[in-house]
């Protein structure tokens, strides 16, 4: 909860192709649809005292603007950068400006996949990274945010 008794706003930001969950390579990303992800994050977020807003974009500039919004508003972030993870230094620099916890998430475990996926330009500026637990990675990240925010007081 925020200091006013209102739920704490949290952004769950998703990069390219994540809007295609459920139909995109279900053997890697699972059968849960994007709508299912949104519902799952909203439900758990509510239980944790968060007002969760889930967004998805295939546009790097839009993702950077959202990270700026989060930094300016001291809004905690759960970030699945998708393919931006491996090369977007602009997104990394925007994430580095964070003023609240930022948890990097991945549905699959990048280290069990192609070698180019083993590098995250975001990890060094994130509070932490959770990967390999399917859609559960988001639930773990929301719980981690709750713990981080509680520790901050």
Q: Is 58 annotated as a binding-site member?
A: no
Q: Which helix (H) or strand (E) holds 77?
A: strand 77-80
Which residue is catalytic, options 29, 89, 111, 138? 29
Q: Is 68 annotated as a binding-site member?
A: no
- Is position 34 annotated as part of the catalytic site? no
Helix 89-96 / helix 60-73 crossing angle, nearest 10 deg: 10
Q: Is 107 annotated as a binding-site member?
A: yes
Which residue is catalytic, options 68, 87, 106, 138? 106
Q: Find where tokens 């699945």 sit.
A: 80
Q: Is 135 annotated as a binding-site member?
A: no
- Is position 106 annotated as part of the catalytic site? yes
Q: Is 108 annotated as a binding-site member?
A: yes
Q: Is 117 annotated as a binding-site member?
A: yes
The answer to whether residues 78 and 10 touch, using CB atoms and an 8 Å cutoff, is yes
What distance in Å separates the CA atoms of residue 41 and residue 38, rounded to the nearest whole number? Answer: 5
Annotated binding site for substrate: 80, 86, 93, 107-108, 117
Catalytic annotation, residues: 29, 106
Annotated binding site: 80, 86, 93, 107-108, 117
């Amino acid at each position: 909860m925020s200091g006013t008794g209102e739920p704490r706003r949290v952004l769950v930001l998703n990069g390219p192709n994540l809007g295609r969950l459920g139909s995109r390579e279900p053997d890697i990303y699972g059968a849960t649809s994007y709508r299912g992800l949104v519902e799952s994050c909203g439900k758990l977020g509510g239980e944790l005292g968060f007002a969760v807003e889930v967004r998805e974009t295939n546009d790097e500039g839009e993702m950077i603007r959202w990270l700026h919004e989060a930094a300016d508003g001291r809004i905690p972030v759960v970030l699945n950068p998708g393919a931006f993870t491996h090369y977007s230094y602009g997104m990394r620099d925007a994430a580095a400006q964070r003023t609240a916890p930022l948890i990097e998430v991945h549905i699959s475990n990048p280290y069990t996949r192609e070698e180019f996926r083993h590098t995250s330009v975001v990890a060094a500026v994130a509070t932490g990274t959770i990967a390999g637990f399917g859609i559960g990675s988001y639930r773990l990240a929301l719980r981690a945010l709750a713990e981080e925010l509680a520790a901050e007081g």
